[in-house]
Amino acid sequence: MLVAAAVCPCPPLLVPAVAAGAASELADARTACSDALAVLAASRPDRLVVIGPAEEGARGVHPAGAAGSFAGFGVDLTVRLGSGPGGERALPASLAVGAWLLDHTDWADAPIEGLGVGTELQPARCAEAGREIGASAERVALLVMGDGSACRTVKAPGYLDERAEGFDAAVGHALGTADPAALLALDPELAQALQAAGRAPWQVLAGAAEGTGLEGRLLYEDAPYGVGYFVAAWS
């Protein structure tokens, strides 16, 4: 059963070595992520699953010890999902950021796995995957990586879309109140149009959280670079 979850954004710029001189711009988000991960560690799970958006080829399960690199962002830095034999496939960027966050947290020795999710995965399938994960151990914790809309300003990656602010407001409220139904109600077509890569991972979380009665806290909400970033803790 799901006993705790942390929701974090997944831009590689969250890693100071990647952000370089701009590292201070996401300092508050980084601190909030640390606070959310502390909630996960305190829950003492039997199993931790890191979930994030993934491109074709990096989707599906990534075993403990799977490695990811930030070489594509100009930094000679490799991270791993806990300890284990790993696998042949590299972690997608979202899970690599999650692995970096876990490396900088006083984390308990629970088995860690990753799940790369396609951004087009439909809500019903996301919820089904979440239910399967939630039922996989007595005490399950999730680290859910994902960004909101990328259309909050004219300088955003997706330019300005007047629907973006309302979409992100609904996401922030759902995450802050631990509302699975509200997350599952997010429109996948609208999310795709707004380049909100977190929609599918959040809906996997929603499936895992159904019937658990977890309470949520929104620890951070902002749109630096015109992209919606959220940090939340459910316990």
Q: How high is the mean pLDDT of the chain?
A: 95
What parts of the chain have a pLDDT lower than 50? none
The predicted structure's pLDDT at residue 84: 85
Of 62, 68, 36, 52, nearest to 126 by C-alpha is 52
Here the CATH number for the domain that contains residue 40 is 3.40.830.10
Q: What is the pLDDT of residue 108?
A: 59
Give the range of the structural domain holding residue 74, as residue numbers without chain letter: 2-234
Residue 109: the pLDDT is 66
Question: Residue 85's pLDDT is what?
Answer: 87
Between CA 137 and CA 140 the distance in angstroms is 6
Alpha-helical runs (H) found in the chain: 16-19, 27-42, 93-103, 123-134, 164-176, 180-184, 188-193, 199-209
Q: What is the pLDDT of residue 110?
A: 75
**Number of independent structural domains in the chain:** 1
What crossing angle do the helices spanning 199-209 and 164-176 adopt, rounded to 10°? 30
Tens digit of each residue's pLDDT (9 = 90 or more) over 7-65: 999 999 999 999 998 889 999 999 999 999 999 999 999 999 999 999 999 999 999 99
pTM above 0.85?
yes
Cβ proximity of 168 and 227 under 8 Å: no
Q: How many CA atoms lie within 13 A of 1 on its CB side?
A: 7
